[in-house]
């Protein structure tokens, strides 16, 4: 990894914040998948990102954290989760910043959410 100590500290704070948001705001049945996705992405980027890549990574995940914090309330409503994930602005923003593999993981996450909502 070739990024600054400040970025490392920022990434760790963001990781902790995301995991807390997951615990408070994501429905119980979806939390394991979301936790796994966050852990994998952070592990991958903390191990091998350049300074520029880490900057983009922090911006994208920071946006996700703000969106999660502002649009979902503590009742863990599946309908609100579905509405957030259908946001075309979020899709456009993430598509430019995610690899095909990451987009596939996000699609799997969305599929799980919509399958769980049908039950």
Residue 61: the pLDDT is: 95
Give, as one character, the DSSP assignment of residue 50: B
Model-level pTM? 0.63
**Can you say how many angstroms the Cα of residue 25 is from the centroid of all Cα atoms in its chain?**
13
3-class SS at 41? helix
Residue 36: the pLDDT is: 94
Residue 74: the pLDDT is: 46
CB pairs under 8 A, 24+ apart, for 21-24?
Answer: 21/65, 21/68, 21/69, 24/74
Residue 118: the pLDDT is: 61
Block means of pLDDT (10 residues each) for the chain, 119 residues, are: 88 96 86 93 90 93 90 58 71 77 83 68
């Amino acid at each position: 990894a070739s990024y600054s100590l400040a970025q490392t500290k920022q990434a760790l704070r963001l990781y902790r914040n995301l995991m807390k948001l997951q615990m408070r705001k994501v429905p119980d049945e979806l939390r394991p998948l979301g936790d796994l996705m966050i852990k994998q992405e952070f592990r991958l980027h903390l191990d091998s990102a350049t300074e520029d890549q880490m900057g983009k990574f922090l911006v994208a995940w920071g946006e996700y954290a703000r969106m999660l914090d502002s649009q979902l309330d503590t009742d863990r409503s599946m309908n609100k989760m579905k509405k957030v994930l259908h946001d075309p602005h979020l899709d456009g923003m993430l598509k430019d910043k995610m690899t095909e593999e990451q987009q596939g993981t996000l699609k799997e996450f969305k599929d799980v959410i919509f399958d769980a909502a049908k039950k």
